[in-house]
Amino acid sequence: MKTTQFAVKTAAIAAIAAICTFAAGASFAAETTWQKDHPRRVEVNSRLAHQDQRIHNEVKSGEISKAQGAALHREDHTIRREERGMASQDGGHLTKVDQRALNQQENGVSRQIGK
């Protein structure tokens, strides 16, 4: 009888472990299309992509040095990391406050391009 109880408990623990593993895996799954394509995220990331191209063009034309371009790219990369962090805290999207803060940071980088 003890062997049967042990087998039942072991099976129950294994089932619970499997469910927990599945649930944890699901919570770390990739973002959904809605989350990645949320309008505020698209706007922020489109600006970052445009600024990246502007920086590249300015370096290529010699209007800013490679070092200045690299510094601006690092600033944009920092903004992109912050965008991802904000989105992960808000269910995969950006709030209006998040978007406003990121846009202000992007404005600062934008003003530095092409001086």
| Residue pLDDT, tens place only, 32-91 | 665 667 889 999 999 999 999 999 999 999 999 999 999 999 999 999 999 999 999 988
Q: At 48, which amino acid appears?
A: L
Which range has the worst mean pLDDT, 6-10, 25-29, 46-50, 91-95?
25-29
Q: What is the pLDDT of residue 37?
A: 72
Angle, CA 27 vertex, CA 17 and CA 15 arms, to 5°? 15
**Residue 34, φ and ψ in degrees, nearest 5:** -60, -40
Judge whether 92 and 35 are in contact, CB under 8 Å. yes
Neighbours of 48 (CB within 10 A): 19
Residue 78 is predicted with a pLDDT of 96
Q: What are the residue boundaries of the structural domains of the chain, listed by start?
A: 1-30, 32-112
Rounded-to-integer distance, Cα 60 and Cα 54, Å: 10
Cα 80 from chain centre: 7
The model scores a pTM over 0.75: no
Q: Where do runs of H (alpha helix) occur along the chain?
A: 2-27, 33-36, 39-61, 66-89, 96-112
